[in-house]
């Protein structure tokens, strides 16, 4: 059905087209209208929740108007688009971001104030959109911000989980998980009940030859689940471009429960189908850097990939272009291996549904996809059992076997007789049961593979994907070092710092061209500037201290050195090294005379992060941190010299308060294990220094800001293998200071030591895989250097200014431009400034 309005009537449409508000009065009018109509309330019962809802709806309407125009513009221009497929989008809050990106926060602030509200209180009403675990999901969110801000025609595709990452509560020092039901009221999504895609599962494949002797495969039977689109507008910063994030929600094909069964009294099974279908998009898997191989997860992956590809292909077909032009019009980026089935699904669409031959289809497929790898940890590399696959996606498994056969034939031609090589690179692992190696499938089906920091991209080429470099040549493998959006992580999280920088660099231009920060170098020794700089840091620490007081009851002195480690809890990230270091500091303080203590630098050690619910060792680390805090925080010998804080439920909105308040932050993974890290970038950009290992992006941060401005310690990635070998087959001698720390733990100083036996044992008795003991001495010594350096505040402040000035490289805008040029081959779609775009300075 033609839904387009005929020419003669279009003038009426144009005349009455929605006009986005610009002025304070128009904003207030919209808020009052939403309170009184959409929300059916009035000035007599408008609480902060209602005011948040109305303000958000006012901004959402505005974004949707720009979203519509952006989509029309992009469709009309008909240039190449990017689709970013990610199972996680860790967006955080939308209102503050929307206000800042469209340049109307001050307008909203005054408007809300006239209506009787403080903007901070309204912003704080919002529930985080937490559809992700950690770095990988937040990277996807930063990328969406950059793609919109740079005017790239780009969509994100993901799943609309009913429950995002769980909320963490700490009860008696233990992590307790509480479901995160966030959709109660979500003004930022736009249900598209007209965009529904059928997704098939299970069933079987019937093969036959048609009249022309062509092999035909039909995937039939099984069950159908419906995918409904929910669109979330993504506003660019200071540009009308408003891109789209499309999230799919699952429903039973019938849409309703089975009335037949219901009427015959079979209540339970009448809703069972419906529930089973809705389960697909019900909950985000809470594992970070871990693959558990669960069937429901594979179902999520196919559901999301099939709906997204159907949508992408449908849009392409409207253009009536030849299939061979598909990769000229479309780039699809795979955020890790989670969407790798898209490769198989596109091949299936092209050969089974559209009738292309294999080779023609495969050329299109491989030219369309790019694959980003985010880890070398073996336990995180996805593998699916063949029997499970066979049952759920029988046709896809056949296609994978064909892809593998053609691939292995090409390897055989290149390396005749090398049977070992064939076994090593086969997409099918010949184990019991056989497994599909998703990373290998992603490599074979993409034209580019990238890692996320230089060290990591080198490591994948020399370790896990070595053979593939030999097979495809080195040019297929590249690096795109991660970045962060300075809009959220500087302008939004640290408004005062942003304002100061703007005042010295000629406005907010640095938020779109972060290299402008360079101009700050000339203020690194400027007395006045340093004073303002230090005041802002102090104010941010006061803000965090207040938050610590209100959430934990512990009073911390904002003049202390704030030492922060916030990230998912994982043995490889080594929060255990940090807490053992804290215990060592405690022992040192206890052994000192009161006079000696006076020379110490007071420190607050702040931790935050979630453990995967099934990850016992990570939960043990949380337990230890809390118990150590409980003892130290009330020890009168220690007082303000040391406080230990565990902040509950670390998430994006809390990161916005925590990040600007660090003096030092910890990025201390075992060398070679953290692919990149991105919070390292956030902390430095906010005027904090870091202590870190030579791992991930720490190395490039050092190169950019200078080695005098970072505290590096520990063994290098190239030495890890040998050290592990020595632990297991040579002699394993424990660091003597660490032994003292363990002795204190074992004396039940922090509660029943039995609770921590597995943790200390993993280091003393079970090979110390993460090199905690090997790096302990170097860590302690380097922390002592931090204490010393902090005493010279003048020098410290200069270091932080120089560091910020040199962080331009780590903007996610730089990152997106690299993807666009090296991998996607797409160009931005320039826009003229249109009506309604305020630019606040
Ligand atoms: F295992 N990352 C993450 F590679 O946050 F899939 N979750 C994950 O499951 C994985 C990676 C995966 C992180 C990396 O650990 C971090 O080093 C990196 O900065 C981030 O992805 C973004 O690239």
pLDDT in tens, 132-170: 999 999 999 999 999 999 999 999 999 999 999 999 999
Pairing of strands 428-429, 435-437: antiparallel
Cα 424 from Cα 717, distance rounded (Å): 24
Per-residue pLDDT tens digits for 57-113? 999 999 999 999 999 999 999 999 999 999 999 999 999 999 999 999 999 999 999
Active site residue 799: no
82 neighbors 154 (Cβ within 8 angstroms) = yes
Single out the catalytic residue among 228, 337, 620, 678.
678
Q: Which residues contact 527 (CB under 8 A, 6 or more apart)?
A: none
Residues of the chain above pLDDT 70, percent: 98
369 has which bridge partners? 332
Confidence bin at 262 (pLDDT 50/70/90): low
Cα angle 212, 218, 220; round to 5: 155
| DSSP secondary structure letter of residue 749 | B
- Both tokens of 419, joined, read 């049977």
The pLDDT value recorded for residue 254 is: 78
- CA dist., res. 613 & res. 587, Å (int): 32
Choice from 90, 136, 650 to test ligand 1 binding pocket (greatest atom count within 8 A of CB): 136
The residue count for the chain: 841
Kindly name the residue from 138, 383, 568, 806 that is annotated as catalytic. Answer: 568
CA of residue 681 to ligand 1 center, whole Å: 15
| Secondary element (H or E) of residue 606 | strand 603-608
pLDDT band at 837 (very low <50, low <70, confident <90, very high): very low
Q: Give the pair of three-digit tokens for residue 518.
A: 């360079």
Helix (H) or strand (E) holding 741: helix 736-746
Q: If you measure from the C-alpha of residue 315 to the centroid of ligand 1, how many angstroms do you get, rounded to a whole number?
A: 31
Catalytic-residue membership of 678:
yes
CA-373 nearest atom, ligand 1? 4
* Tokens of residue 43, six digits: 């000035």
Nearest-atom number in ligand 1 for the CA of 287 is 9
- Over 60: is that where the pLDDT of 840 sits? no
Three-state SS string over 496-514 comes to: HHHHHHHHHHCCHHHHCCH
Interatomic CA distance for residues 547 and 555, integer angstroms: 10
Tokens representing 325 are 């032009």
435 beta partners: 385, 429
Q: How many whole angstroms from 675 Cα to the centroid of ligand 1?
A: 7
Helix 527-552 vs helix 793-805: crossing angle, to nearest 10? 90
Distances in Å between the Cα of 702 and the Cα atoms of 563, 578, 802 are 19, 21, 12
In Å, what is the CA distance from 189 to each residue of 73, 240, 244? Answer: 21, 19, 10
pLDDT at 23 over 50: yes
Express each pLDDT in 104-132 by its tens digit: 999 999 999 999 999 999 999 999 999 99
Q: Supply the residue whose CA is at minimum distance from atom 1 of ligand 1.
A: 289
Q: Which atom of ligand 1 is nearest to the CA of 677?
A: 19
Q: Is 682 a catalytic residue?
A: yes
pLDDT digits (tens, 9 = 90+) for 29-48: 999 999 999 999 999 999 99
Stretch 756-772: mean pLDDT: 97
| Residue 375 alpha carbon to ligand 1 centre in Å | 6
Cα-based distances in Å from 328 to 117, 147, 324, 369, 519: 50, 19, 8, 12, 40
User: 211 in helix, strand or coil?
Assistant: coil
- Ligand 1 centre to CA of 289 (Å) is 6
387: tokens are 């029997």
pLDDT at 835: 40
pLDDT at 133: 98
DSSP sequence for 768-799: -TT-HHHHHHHHHHHHHHHHHHHH-HHHHHHH
State the pLDDT at residue 343.
Answer: 99
Q: Which residues contact 827 (CB under 8 A, 6 or more apart)?
A: 79, 80, 820
CA distances from 446 to 372, 408, 410 (A): 10, 16, 16
User: Contact, 304 vs 406, CB < 8 A?
Assistant: no
Ligand 1: centre distance to CA 607 (Å): 19
For the 489-810 domain, the top CATH level (class) is alpha beta
Distance 135 CA to ligand 1 centre (A): 5
Diameter over CA atoms, the chain: 96
Residue 18: what pLDDT?
85
Rounded CA separation 287/336 (Å): 14
Assess whether 568 carries a catalytic annotation: yes
Q: Is 340 an active-site residue?
A: no
Active-site pick, 567, 584, 667, 799 = 567
Question: Could you give the count of Cα atoms lying within 13 Å of 662 in the half-sphere of its Cβ?
Answer: 30
Q: What's the pLDDT score for residue 256?
A: 60
Tokens of 787: 């204490």
Measure 296 CA to ligand 1 centroid, in angstroms: 21
Q: Are 163 and 282 in contact (CB under 8 A)?
A: yes
Identify which of 137, 338, 371, 374 to mutate to test ligand 1's pocket (most ligand atoms within 8 A of the CB). 374
Residue 19 confidence class, pLDDT cut points 50, 70, 90: confident
Q: Specify whether 573 is catalytic.
A: yes
> Distance (Å, rounded) from C-alpha 722 to C-alpha 596?
40
Q: How many CA atoms lie within 13 A of 578 on its CB side?
A: 36
- The preferred substitution site among 336, 375, 381, 676 for testing ligand 1, maximizing ligand atoms within 8 Å of CB, is 375
Instruction: Tell me the CATH number for domain 78-93+128-481.
Output: 3.40.50.2000
* Average pLDDT value over all residues in the chain: 96
Give dist(CA 675, CA 452) in Å, integer: 6
In this predicted structure, which of 10-19, 218-227, 535-544, 558-567 has the lowest mean pLDDT? Answer: 10-19
Instruction: Calculate mean pLDDT across residues 471-481.
Output: 98
Residue nearest to atom 21 of ligand 1 (CA): 136
Q: How far apart are CA 562 and CA 836, in angstroms?
A: 42
CA distances from 252 to 164, 181, 268, 271 (A): 21, 21, 15, 10
pLDDT category of residue 188 using cuts at 50, 70 and 90: very high
Which pLDDT score, from 0 to 100, does residue 333 have? Answer: 99
Find the radius of gyration of the CA atoms of the chain.
Answer: 28
pLDDT band at 478 (very low <50, low <70, confident <90, very high): very high
How many of the other CB atoms lie within 10 Å of CB of 163?
A: 18
Identical topology for domains 78-93+128-481 and 489-810: yes
Tell me whether strands 369-372 and 383-385 are parallel, antiparallel or unpaired. unpaired
Q: Which entry of 374, 488, 610, 623 is annotated as an active-site residue?
A: 374
Identify which of 134, 465, 692 to mutate to test ligand 1's pocket (most ligand atoms within 8 A of the CB).
134
Average pLDDT (545-568) is 98
How much is the pLDDT for 836?
Answer: 40
Question: How many CA atoms lie within 13 Å of 536's alpha carbon, on the beta-carbon side?
Answer: 24
Q: Which residues line ligand 1 (CB under 6 A)?
A: 133-136, 139, 288-289, 336, 374-375, 380, 452, 482, 674-678, 696
Give the model's pLDDT for residue 833: 63
- The token pair at 126 is 């919002």
Task: Choose one of 130, 131, 289 to mutate for the ligand 1 pocket test, by most ligand atoms within 8 angstroms of C-beta.
Answer: 289
pLDDT in the model for residue 250: 98
Is the confidence at residue 368, as pLDDT, over 90? yes
CA of 657 to the centre of ligand 1 (A): 23
Residue 716 has pLDDT above 80, yes or no: yes
Quick one: DSSP state of residue 553? -
Least confident of 5-14, 242-251, 365-374: 5-14
> Cα dist. 653→166, 167, 175 in Å?
15, 13, 20
Residue 587 banded pLDDT, cuts 50, 70, 90: very high
Strands lying side by side in the sheet with 711-713: 642-647, 603-608, 561-566, 664-667, 689-693, 711-713
> Considering only CA atoms, which of 745, 772, 739 is closest in space to residue 757?
745
Condensed to tens digits (0 to 9), the pLDDT of residues 659-687 reads 999 999 999 999 999 999 999 999 999 99
Q: State which ligand 1 atom lies nearest to the alpha carbon of 675.
A: 17
Q: What is the β-pairing status of strands 174-178 and 448-451? A: unpaired
Closest to 449 (Cα-Cα) out of 425, 473, 426, 428: 473
Identified catalytic residue from 530, 570, 682, 806: 682
Both tokens of 11, joined, read 């003038």
């Amino acid at each position: 059905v033609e839904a387009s309005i005929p020419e003669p009537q279009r003038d009426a449409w144009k005349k009455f087209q929605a006009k986005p508000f610009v002025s304070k009065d128009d904003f207030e009018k919209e808020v009052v209208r939403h309170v009184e109509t959409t929300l059916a309330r009035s000035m007599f019962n408008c609480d902060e929740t209602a005011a948040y809802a109305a303000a958000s709806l006012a901004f959402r309407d505005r974004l949707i108007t720009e979203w519509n125009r952006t989509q029309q513009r992009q469709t009309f221009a008909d240039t190449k688009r990017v689709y970013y497929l990610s199972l996680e989008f860790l967006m955080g809050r939308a209102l503050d971001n929307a206000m800042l990106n469209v340049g109307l926060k001050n307008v909203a602030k005054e408007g809300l104030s006239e209506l009787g509200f403080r903007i901070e209180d309204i912003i704080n009403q919002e529930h985080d959109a937490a559809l992700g675990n950690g770095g990988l999901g937040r990277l996807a969110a930063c990328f969406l911000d950059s793609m919109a801000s740079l005017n790239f025609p780009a969509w994100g595709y993901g799943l609309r989980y009913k429950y995002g990452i769980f909320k963490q509560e700490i009860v008696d020092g233990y992590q307790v998980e509480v479901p995160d039901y966030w959709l109660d009221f979500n003004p930022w999504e736009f249900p598209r009940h007209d965009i529904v895609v059928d997704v098939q599962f299970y069933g079987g494949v019937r093969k036959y030859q048609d009249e022309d002797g062509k092999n035909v495969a039909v995937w039939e039977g099984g069950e159908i689940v419906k995918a409904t689109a929910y669109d979330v507008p993504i506003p660019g910063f200071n540009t009308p471009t408003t891109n789209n994030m499309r999230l799919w929600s699952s429903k039973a094909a019938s849409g309703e429960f089975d009335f037949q069964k219901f009427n015959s009294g079979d209540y339970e099974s009448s809703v069972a189908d419906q529930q089973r279908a809705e389960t697909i998009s019900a909950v985000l898997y809470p594992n970070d850097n871990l693959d558990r191989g669960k069937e429901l997860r594979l179902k999520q992956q196919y559901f999301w990939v099939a709906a997204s590809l159907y949508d992408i292909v449908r849009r392409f077909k409207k253009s009536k272009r030849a299939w061979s032009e598909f990769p000229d019009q479309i780039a699809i980026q795979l955020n890790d291996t989670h969407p790798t089935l898209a490769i198989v699904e596109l091949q299936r669409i092209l050969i089974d549904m559209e009738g292309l031959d294999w080779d023609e289809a495969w050329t299109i497929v491989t030219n369309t996809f790019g694959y980003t790898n985010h880890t070398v940890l073996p336990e995180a590399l996805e593998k699916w059992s063949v029997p499970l696959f066979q049952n759920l996606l029988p046709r896809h498994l056949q296609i994978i076997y064909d892809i593998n056969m053609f691939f292995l034939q090409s390897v055989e031609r290149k390396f005749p007789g090398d049977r070992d090589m064939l076994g090593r690179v086969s997409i099918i692992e010949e184990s019991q049961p056989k497994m599909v190696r998703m990373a290998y499938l992603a490599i074979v089906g993409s034209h580019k593979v990238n890692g996320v920091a230089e060290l990591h991209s080198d490591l994948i080429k020399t370790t896990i994907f070595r053979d593939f470099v030999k097979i495809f040549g080195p040019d297929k493998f590249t690096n795109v070092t991660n970045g962060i959006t300075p809009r959220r992580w500087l302008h939004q999280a640290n408004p005062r710092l942003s304002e100061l920088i703007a005042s010295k660099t000629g406005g907010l231009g640095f938020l779109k061209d972060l290299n402008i920060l360079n101009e700050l170098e000339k203020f690194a020794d400027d007395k006045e500037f340093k004073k303002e700089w230090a005041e802002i840091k102090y104010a941010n620490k006061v803000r965090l201290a207040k938050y610590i007081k209100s959430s934990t009851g512990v009073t911390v002195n904002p003049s202390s050195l704030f030492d922060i480690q916030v990230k998912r809890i994982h043995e490889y990230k080594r929060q255990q090294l940090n807490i053992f270091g804290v215990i060592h500091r405690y022992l040192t303080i206890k052994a000192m005379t009161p006079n000696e203590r006076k020379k110490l630098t007071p420190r607050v050690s702040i931790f935050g992060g979630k453990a995967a619910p099934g990850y016992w060792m990570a939960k043990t680390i949380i337990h230890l941190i809390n118990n150590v805090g409980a003892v130290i925080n009330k020890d009168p010998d220690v007082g303000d010299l040391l406080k230990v804080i565990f902040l509950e439920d670390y998430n994006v909105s809390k990161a916005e308060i925590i990040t600007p308040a660090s003096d030092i932050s910890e990025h201390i993974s075992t060398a070679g294990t953290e692919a990149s890290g991105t919070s390292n970038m956030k902390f430095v950009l906010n005027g904090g220094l870091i202590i870190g290992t030579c791992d991930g992006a720490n190395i490039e941060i050092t190169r950019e800001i200078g080695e005098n401005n970072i505290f590096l310690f520990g063994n290098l990635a190239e030495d890890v293998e040998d050290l592990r070998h020595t632990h297991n087959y040579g002699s394993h001698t424990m660091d003597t200071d660490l032994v003292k720390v363990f002795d204190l733990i074992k004396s039940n100083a922090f509660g029943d030591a039995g609770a921590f036996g597995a943790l200390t044992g993993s280091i003393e008795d079970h090979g110390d895989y993460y090199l905690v003991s090997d790096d302990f001495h170097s860590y302690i010594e380097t922390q002592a250097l931090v204490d010393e350096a902090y005493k010279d505040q003048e020098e410290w402040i200069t270091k932080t200014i120089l560091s910020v000035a040199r962080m331009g490289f780590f903007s996610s805008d730089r990152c997106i431009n690299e993807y666009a040029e090296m991998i996607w081959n797409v160009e931005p779609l320039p826009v003229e400034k249109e009506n309604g775009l305020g630019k606040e300075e």
